[in-house]
Amino acid sequence: MNTYKGRLAAFFTAVILIAGASAATAAGTQKLVSVDWLARNLKTPNVVVLDVGAFTQYERGHIPGAVKAFGPWQTMNDEYVGFMMPKVEDLVRMLRSYGVNNDSYVILYDEGVTAQDTAKSARALWTLEALGHDKVAILDGGFAAWKQAKKAVSGEPIVPRPGNFSGRLVKSKLATMREVKKALHSSRVVFVDDRLPEEDFGHEKKSYIKRFGHLPESRLWPADFMTNAGIEFSPSFMRDTSELQQMAKGVGIPADKNAEIITYSNRGLQAAMGYYVLHDLLGYRNVRLFDGSILEAAADKSIPMETNGWGYRKKM
């Protein structure tokens, strides 16, 4: 009898272990993970947690085992345009120093207070995907959600063992200035402006942007509208997929998941949120990020920009 019970217990233990391993493996394909999932999987092999928030935040406290990944995720390119994707070899070196391997499931998190915080994680996610690494996700609600759930916080800095990451640029993730100029003359390409409405309309602009307005025919979908940040003191949780899908339809983005889409913002940060929502949460397959965004486009007078109106006007 005891032998039978022992075998039965061993059987159920094995089932639980296999189920747990399967769940972790399946989660490797998820692009948004919860605080509870991360708390359960902090010690799962191949899970690498990167803190992409402010340096001072990490020093005050961080998720146990998280590596400070301050970047740079954006830098000045050879044409002296700022906030661009660094060279591939520099990014590979940086990610290796963070302990990222080719088989790592990378979890990114930020301060989690505002949508702009979440955009930091989105930019890092886009960078990894642009290097061919698709096993990457964002922690929903960031560090604010982690603290709100009263999870453990560490003050111990982590120095990881160097990884073997070896990414290569996936050109289909990136829209260059030349490609944007060509796409402006194509009715098949949808441009999505992820800045604030007043910037898209042409009534305000950042001091480093040369001209007011938006690219012709752009759909406006502000990154700030994509999370629940600040609603009843909520951390920056992503809105439900169904609500995001309604927003996409409402701003004029085609239902066809094969539609060609280029996201942009002032300097490619909010545009990364647009990319993340469209590509990783809503399943659009052909989404590119205009790395130079309006910072680069507004400085080139050959690129038309419109003001005092919305770019996309739904035909009646």
Q: What is the pLDDT of residues 195-242, one digit of tens each?
A: 999 999 999 999 999 999 999 999 999 999 999 999 999 999 999 999
118-135 confidence digits (pLDDT tens): 999 999 999 999 999 999
pTM for the full model?
A: 0.90
Mean pLDDT of 16-20: 43
Residue 302 near residue 89, CB atoms below 8 Å: no
CA angle 67/68/74 to nearest 5° reads 125
Mean pLDDT of 163-169: 97
36-89 confidence digits (pLDDT tens): 999 999 999 999 999 999 989 999 999 999 999 998 999 988 776 889 999 999
CB proximity list for 84: less than 8 A, separation 6 or greater: 74, 75, 76, 77, 268, 291, 292
- CA dist 244 and 280 (Å) reads 12
Residue ranges of alpha helices (H) inside 42-114 are: 55-60, 88-97
SS3 of 190-248: the string is EEEECCCHHHHHCCCCCCCCCCCCECCCCEECCHHHCECCCHHHCCCCECCHHHHHHHH
19-34 confidence digits (pLDDT tens): 444 445 454 679 999 9
Ordered domains of the chain (ranges, CATH): 30-148 (3.40.250.10), 171-297 (3.40.250.10)
213 — alpha (psi -120 to 50), left (phi > 0) or beta?
left
pLDDT at 312: 78
Helix, strand, coil % in the chain, rounded to nearest 5: 40, 15, 50
67 — alpha (psi -120 to 50), left (phi > 0) or beta?
beta
- CA dist 268 and 177 (Å) reads 13
Residue 244 near residue 174, CB atoms below 8 Å: no
- CA dist 202 and 209 (Å) reads 12
Phi, psi (degrees; rounded to nearest 5) at 6: -65, -45
Asked whether the predicted pLDDT for residue 12 surpasses 60, the reply is no
